Chains A and B, each alone.
Chain A
Amino acid sequence: MNPIIQAEDVWKKYKIPHERRTTLFEHVGGILEVLGGRQVTYEEFWALKEIDFSVEPGESIGIIGDNGSGKSTLLKIIAMILRPTRGRVRVYGKVAPILELGVGFHPDLTVEENILVYGSIMGLKNSEVKKRMEPILKFSGVERFRDAKLKNLSSGMQMRLGFSVAIETNPDVFLIDEALTVGDIDFQQKCIDKFKQFKAEKKTIILVSHALGLVEDFCEKTVLLSKGEMAGFGPTAYVVDQYQGLARGS
Chain B
Amino acid sequence: MLAILTLVFSTLLRAGIDNFSVFLLPALLAWRFFSIGTSMSLASILGNAPLVTKVYFPRWLLVLSSNLANLIGSSLEFAVLLPLLVFLGMAPTLLTLLLPVIIILELILIVGISFLLSSLNVYYRDINQIWDIALQAGFFLTPIIYSSSLIPERYLPLYSLNPMMRIVESLRKALYYNILPTIEDLSIPLLIGLLFCLVGYRVFSKLEPRFAEVI
A residues lining the B interface (CB < 8 Å): 14, 22-25, 27, 76, 79-83, 97, 99-100, 103-104, 121-123
Q: Are B212 and A82 in contact (CB under 8 A)?
A: yes
Closest to B125 in A: A22
Q: How far is the CB of B66 from chain A (nearest CB, A)?
A: 15
What per-residue 1/0 map shows which CB atoms of B73-95 lie under 8 Å from chain A?
A: 00000000000000000000000
Q: Is B202 an interface residue (CB 8 A)?
A: no
Closest to A121 in B: B55
Closest to B120 in A: A24
The one of A24, A80, A103, A104 that contacts B126, using a Cβ cutoff of 8 Å? A24
Give the chain A neighbours of B50 by CB distance below 8 A. Answer: 100, 103-104
Complex Cα gap A176–B57 (Å): 18
Complex Cα gap A22–B126 (Å): 8
- Count of CB-CB pairs between chains A and B under 8 Å: 47
* Interface hub of A22, A24, A79, A122 (most chain B Cβ within 10 A): A24
Give the chain B neighbours of A121 by CB distance below 8 A. Answer: 51, 55, 57
What is the size, in residues, of chain B's interface with A at 8 Å between Cβ atoms? 19
Given contacts A24-B127, A80-B56, A121-B51, 16 further A-B contacts (CB under 8 A): A22-B123, A23-B125, A24-B124, A24-B126, A76-B212, A79-B56, A81-B54, A81-B55, A82-B213, A83-B209, A83-B210, A97-B54, A103-B50, A103-B54, A103-B55, A104-B55
Complex Cα gap A123–B52 (Å): 14
Complex Cα gap A83–B210 (Å): 7
Q: Are B56 and A14 in contact (CB under 8 A)?
A: no
Q: Is B11 an interface residue (CB 8 A)?
A: no
By Cβ-Cβ distance, the 10 closest A-B pairs, closest first, are A23-B126, A24-B124, A80-B56, A103-B54, A83-B209, A81-B212, A99-B54, A100-B54, A22-B125, A81-B56
- Give the secondary structure class of B's interface: helix
Complex Cα gap A25–B128 (Å): 12
What per-residue 1/0 map shows which CB atoms of B179-215 lie under 8 Å from chain A?
A: 0000000000000000000000000000001101100
What per-residue 1/0 map shows which CB atoms of B111-125 lie under 8 Å from chain A?
A: 000000000100111
Q: Is B130 an interface residue (CB 8 A)?
A: yes
Q: How far is the CB of A173 from chain B (nearest CB, A)?
A: 13
Closest to A80 in B: B56
Q: Is B19 an interface residue (CB 8 A)?
A: no
Q: Is B147 an interface residue (CB 8 A)?
A: no
- Residue contacts A-B, CB under 8 angstroms, 11 given: A23-B124, A23-B126, A24-B126, A81-B54, A81-B212, A83-B210, A99-B54, A100-B54, A104-B50, A104-B51, A121-B57
Q: How far is the CB of B174 from chain A (nearest CB, A)?
A: 38
Closest to B124 in A: A24
Q: Are A24 and B130 in contact (CB under 8 A)?
A: yes
Q: How far is the CB of B206 from chain A (nearest CB, A)?
A: 13
Closest to A97 in B: B55
Interface residues of B in 105-150 (CB under 8 A from A): 120, 123-127, 130
